[in-house]
Chains A and B, each alone.
Chain A
Amino acid sequence: MAQKISEKVSEILGKIKTCMGFQKKGNKVDSFKLITSPAVLFVLALFAGMLIVYFYNAMPAFNREGLSVYLKDVWRAVENPSEEYYGLASAIWGSIYTSMIAILVALPLSIAYSIFVVDYAPKRIKNTLIITSDVMAGLPTIIYGIWGAFVLVPFLKDYVMTPLHRYLSFIPIFSYPPITGFSYFSAGILLGIMVTPFASAIIREAYQMTPFAYREAAFSVGMTRYEATKVMLGYIKPAMFSGVILAFGRAIGETVAVSLVIGNTFNLSANLFAPGYTISSLIANQFGNAFIYSHMLPVLYAAGLALFFIGLLVNSAGLYLLRRWEKNVSI
């Protein structure tokens, strides 16, 4: 009897192993696969678990305010719970706005940097440049934050924002007086600087991957270096596009550095020099208050959920486009 049971058990175990791919029929168990696969399962479980936790904890906010929690621009944190109202529109706007400014800064910088590193830099300094920018991509973001708050913001305020406001304030986006300098603009510029090493790594790799045969072809029909470079940039356009999307994904999730320079004010404005909030800086700043006010925590979870989805969407789109392009790089 006992033997029968143990036979049955091993048969079932065998079936499980086969269907999970640990063991091909009749072959030995791939023990390495067996050992490493829990890591994969763990990652997947973590991903799903996180999503569930966020959903679950954000539910009270959705039940109370519906999806308008994402569309309203209010932040009424008061002691009487029945009068509490929250809306995340200004933070979502701030995230998107600053990230777009960041892209406008990062894209030309990354392209110029990539062209210089690949085409012009002498071999001796080429590697130094590559390592430097890769290190900068990995620096703790608080380093950028402190530098941004104490060096970049005063500089931008005095030499960029004030003159622009003085002479061009009739243009709506320059009309807000840059009193402190902490603003969407400062945050966008800082984010742009922060994601440049990241975006340039992608663009540089792609630019380096352009087959030499195409360069030769470009020069063989009498193109100048500038013209040939333009044609090659056209060739890596999909990679540049995905670099931009991935950089956007980075920028939108950045928290600490942005919190230090954006001014942390509820504001929904296209005025570049106005202070604002981003989703992540909002969560970081309001986290302490969430213990005081009864309806705030679910709203912060809802904010996190929004960021989760934006990040997921943006990153998977960027990676997908990049992979697809890399696959097509051949003659």
Chain B
Amino acid sequence: MNEYAIETKNLKISYGDNEVIKGVDLKVLKNVVFALMGPSGCGKSTMLRAFNRLLELNKDAVVEGEVLLFGENIYSPDIDPIEVRRDVGMVFQYPNPFPHLTIYDNVAIGLKLNKLAKNKRELDERVRWALEKAALWDEVKDRMGDYPSDLSGGQKQRLVVARALAMKPKVLLMDEPTANIDPVGTKKIEELLFELKEDYTIILVTHSPAQAARVSDCVGFLYLGELIEVGSTKDIFEKPKNELTEQYVTGELV
């Protein structure tokens, strides 16, 4: 088995003539929380969406180069993007559970459609397992048939985490998962990251250096489509090699 969960080779992404990721080489170890940080509009979210081929929903986006998932190029022609997305879960910037599905169905839908559970009992167990993993089970176990509209922002986001975990992915992508929830919810999500990295590789996009410092093991600093510096969180925050990185982590570069 490959030691890297995600590896990119000269990854370039452009929308029409506008190149937003300009040739990135990145290696992400297994079972770590990797924070991809950088100011708004530097291409973090775009790059993240290349890791599960979700970028293809946007017809203008063009991806060049390679993205290896445990050593396998997910952009090779014989790979089905749907298979990739089953292995790479995603949590979004806005908590987006399906509002017209019940809490139970929100978690179960991927399993149902991909026929990952043999029977109702197995489905129930998997849903419960995912909700427990997402630290939401105790709060929703008595109202699985309710719609998610009554949940708080933080709870919704953990429901989305459960929806992703239910598929038993290998990698979990998180696109600024705490950008739109309150501090208590943020804390819970951050605590969750520590637990989840036992089993998963987590790539966390954040525009907050403070959050990256709090939760990550390794950090990559992305600026204007270029990967400026990568290293362990300790190194990046204590002795950054690049001047831009230093400016960013000290809050001078916005």
CB contact list, A202-243 vs B, under 8 A = 211-224, 227, 231, 234-235, 237
Q: Is the CB of A223 within 8 A of B98?
A: no
Q: A224 and B99 in contact (CB under 8 A), knowing A213-B94, A216-B92? A: no
Cβ A216 vs Cβ B85 within 8 A: no
Instruction: Determine whether the beta carbon of B160 is less than 8 Å from that of A222.
Output: no
Q: A227 to chain B: which residues have CB within 8 Å?
A: 113
Considering only CB atoms, which chain A residue lies closest to B53 in the complex? A219
CB contacts (< 8 Å) of B92 on chain A: these are 213, 216-217, 220
Which residues, 273 to 304 on A, are CB-close (under 8 Å) to B?
none
State in angstroms the CA–CA spacing of A211 and B57 once bound together.
Answer: 13
Q: Are B163 and A222 in contact (CB under 8 A)?
A: no
Chain A: interface secondary structure?
helix
Q: How far is the CB of B147 from the nearest CB of chain A, in Å?
A: 11
In the complex, the answer to whether A217 meets B160 with C-beta atoms within 8 Å is yes
CB-CB under 8 A from A331, the residues of chain B are 94-96
Q: A231-B109, A331-B94 are in contact. Are A220 and B164 (CB under 8 A)?
A: yes
Measured between C-beta atoms, what is the minimum distance from B229 to chain A in Å?
A: 29
Flag whether B79 is at the interface (Cβ < 8 A).
no
> With A216-B57, A217-B92, A331-B94 in contact, is A222–B83 under 8 Å at CB?
yes
- Which residues of chain A are within 8 angstroms of B89 by Cβ–Cβ distance? 220-221
Interface 1/0 per residue, B81-103 and A, CB below 8 Å: 01101100110101111111100
Beyond A223-B82, A237-B100, is A215–B167 a contact (Cβ under 8 Å)?
Answer: no
- With A217-B160, A220-B52, A221-B163 in contact, is A235–B100 under 8 Å at CB? yes
Most chain B beta-carbon neighbours within 10 Å: one of A211, A222, A234, A237: A222
B114 in contact (CB, < 8 A): yes
Q: Tell yes or no: B54 within 8 A of A by CB.
A: yes
B98 contacts A221, C-beta separation under 8 Å: no
Closest to B88 in A: A220
How many of chain B's residues have a CB under 8 angstroms from any CB in A? 26
Given the complex of chains A and B, what is the CA–CA distance between A331 and B85 in angstroms?
22
Residue B240 lies at the interface, judged by CB distance under 8 Å to chain A: no
Chain B residues near A231 (CB, 8 Å)? 98, 101, 109
Q: List, in ascending order, chain A residues with CB within 8 A of B100's CB.
A: 234-235, 237
- Cβ-closest chain B residue relative to A328: B99
Nearest chain A residue, comparing its CB with the CB of B95: A331
- Closest CB in chain B relative to A212 CB, distance in Å: 8
B86 and A222 contact, CB distance less than 8 A: yes
Query: Is there an interface contact between B82 and A220, defined as CB atoms closer than 8 Å?
Result: no
Give the Cβ gap from A103 to chain B, nearest Cβ, in Å.
22
A235 to B109, CA, bound (A): 14
Asked if B110 and A223 sit within 8 Å, CB to CB, the answer is yes
Chain B residues, CB < 8 A from A216: 54, 57, 90, 92, 96
Give the A-B contact count at a CB cut-off of 8 A: 68
**Nearest chain B CB to A119 CB, angstrom units:** 10
A219-B57, A220-B89 given; A213·B82 CB < 8 A: no
Q: How far is the CB of A278 from chain B (nearest CB, A)?
A: 36
Per-residue CB contact flags for chain B residues 24-63 toward chain A (1 = under 8 Å, else 0) read 0000000000000000000000000000101001000000
Smallest CB separation, A224 vs chain B (Å): 6
In the complex, the answer to whether A222 meets B109 with C-beta atoms within 8 Å is no
* Chain B residue at minimum C-beta to C-beta distance from A238: B100
State A180–B92 Cα separation when bound (angstroms): 60
C-alpha spacing A224/B82, complex, angstroms: 7
Give CA–CA (A235, B52) in the complex, Å. 24
A residues 292-330 in Cβ contact with B at 8 Å: 328
Q: How far is the CA of A211 from the CA of B95 in the complex (A)?
A: 12
Among A213, A219, A224, chain B packs the most CB atoms within 10 A around the CB of: A219
State the CA gap A213–B94 with chains docked (Å).
8
Q: Which of A214, A224, A328 has a CB less than 8 Å from the CB of B98?
A: A214
Contact call A221/B101, Cβ cutoff below 8 A: no
* Shortest Cβ gap from B177 to chain A (Å): 13
Q: Which residues of the other chain, B, contact A234 by a CB distance below 8 angstroms? A: 98, 100-101
Binary interface profile of B, 143-183, with partner A (CB < 8 Å = 1, else 0)?
A: 00000000000000000100110010000000000000000
The reply to whether A222 and B94 contact each other, CB–CB distance below 8 Å, is no
Query: Which residues of chain A come closer than 8 Å to B99, judged between CB atoms?
Result: 235, 328
Per-residue B-contact encoding for A133-150, CB less than 8 Å = 1, 0 else: 000000000000000000
Determine the distance from Cα of A221 to Cα of B110 in the docked complex, in whole angstroms: 5
Question: Is the pair A213, B167 in contact by a Cβ cutoff of 8 Å?
Answer: no
A217 contacts B86, C-beta separation under 8 Å: no
Residue from the list B97, B113, B160 in contact with A223, Cβ < 8 A: B113
Give the Cβ gap from B138 to chain A, nearest Cβ, in Å: 24
Ranked nearest first, the 4 interchain pairs of A and B with the lowest CB-CB distance are A221-B110, A222-B86, A220-B90, A213-B96
Q: A214-B98, A331-B95 are in contact. List 17 more A-B contacts (CB 8 A).
A: A211-B96, A216-B57, A216-B90, A216-B96, A217-B96, A217-B98, A218-B98, A219-B57, A220-B92, A221-B86, A221-B109, A221-B114, A222-B113, A223-B113, A234-B101, A235-B98, A331-B96
A sample of 26 inter-chain contacts (CB < 8 A) reads A211-B96, A213-B96, A214-B96, A216-B54, A216-B57, A217-B96, A217-B97, A220-B52, A220-B85, A220-B89, A220-B164, A221-B109, A221-B113, A221-B114, A222-B114, A222-B167, A223-B113, A224-B82, A231-B98, A231-B101, A231-B109, A234-B98, A234-B100, A235-B99, A237-B100, A331-B96
